A and B are shown apart, each in its own frame.
Chain A
Amino acid sequence: EAGVAQSPRYKIIEKRQSVAFWCNPISGHATLYWYQQILGQGPKLLIQFQNNGVVDDSQLPKDRFSAERLKGVDSTLKIQPAKLEDSAVYLCASSPGGNYGYTFGSGTRLTVV
Chain B
Amino acid sequence: AQSVTQPDIHITVSEGASLELRCNYSYGATPYLFWYVQSPGQGLQLLLKYFSGDTLVQGIKGFEAEFKRSQSSFNLRKPSVHWSDAAEYFCAVLLSNDYKLSFGAGTTVTVRA
Contact = CB atoms under 8 A, between A and B. Distances in A.
Interface of A: 4, 31, 33, 40-45, 48, 56, 91, 93, 95, 97-99, 101-107, 109
Contacts of A109: 41
Interface of B: 4, 32, 34, 36, 41-46, 49, 51, 90, 92, 94, 96, 98-106
Contact of A31 (B43, B96, B99): B99
B44 A104 contact: yes
A99 B43 contact: no
B44 A91 contact: yes
A39 B70 CA distance: 33
Contacts of B45: 104
Contacts of A31: 99
Contacts of B100: 33, 45, 48, 56
A94 to B, nearest CB: 12
Given A42-B90, A48-B100, A101 B43 contact: no
A57 B7 CA distance: 29
Given A56-B98, A99-B96, A102-B101, A43 B34 contact: no
Contacts of A41: 105-106
B44 A99 contact: no
A95 B44 CA distance: 14
B61 to A, nearest CB: 17
Contacts of B34: 101
Nearest to A48: B100
17 contacts: A4-B43, A31-B99, A40-B106, A41-B105, A42-B4, A43-B103, A45-B101, A56-B100, A91-B43, A93-B44, A98-B99, A99-B51, A101-B34, A101-B94, A105-B43, A106-B42, A106-B43
A93 B101 CA distance: 10
B16 to A, nearest CB: 28
Contacts of A106: 41-43
